[in-house]
Structure 1
Amino acid sequence: MKKEEAKSKAKRVYEEIQGGVNEVISSIRELIKEGSARKLIIKNKEGEVVFQTQLAFGVGGAALVGAMAPVISAIGMFAMFINDYQILVEKEVDPEDDNYSVDAEVIEITEDEDEEEENTEEAEEKEEKEEKTVGKKKKK
């Protein structure tokens, strides 16, 4: 029952793989070895799924990398047409194991009373000058 609860709490995250053919193939091999990715999805530019396969194989996942060679080479073929296809990797992230955190500090901004008085005095002087010049014509 705990596994079911953990699965329901986990969020699915989709990550797009980009790069050259060799980079795409090596990153997919690395994902298979890690076992962190669940699915590999390749979509065309219309968003239709062209190819989809499971990447999570459990304990024997590392041994299956050799058996996955045809699949990886097919993915490499799609990677050659990277402009027309989108390569996505589906991962499940447990919110409790999420490593991202934000450290923030609240800074309260207050104005000094002296600065406030100076600003109001300057504003009043400016208004007085504007009032004196309103309606007067400048001499040439």
Structure 2
Amino acid sequence: MMRIWFIIGLFLLAYPAIAIDSNPQPFADAMTEARYKELLKELRCMVCPNQPLSDSEAGLAQDLREEVREMVLQGQSNVDIKTFLVARYGDSVLYNPPVMPKTFLLWFGPAVLLLIAFFVLVYFIRRQNKVVSTPVLTPEEQEKLTQVLNQRDPS
């Protein structure tokens, strides 16, 4: 029983702490706060790979959360906020970067690899299932084969 509690304790210690916004400035209404939280989920922390801005504990993430909060409180739209952050940090700040020539591989690469894998699989399945037919002998070849077999077998 003690071992189970120990394992549970280890899991709880390993669970990443949720970043807490240190800015105590409240929002005017619940819709603005919900928009702010949703926006933070759409933005990527520049320090922590594959972690949304809302969950990161990095100092830069805290600064970005405060900056986004100020922009939301000033009434800027989500598009304006994202445009500002992309101009400052590049497309990698967005979890869903726009489709453009430099992100084609990111958007279409998995589908292309899946198609290639499908065609390779079909090719190997067809190749393996190809029935090897026995060649049909001409009458001359059949007679020659019979002679060779009769010479080996004196019965």
TM-score (norm 1): 0.23
Q: Which has the higher helix share?
A: 2
Name the larger-Rg structure.
Answer: 2
- Larger RCO, structures 1/2 (Cα 8 Å, 6+ apart): 1
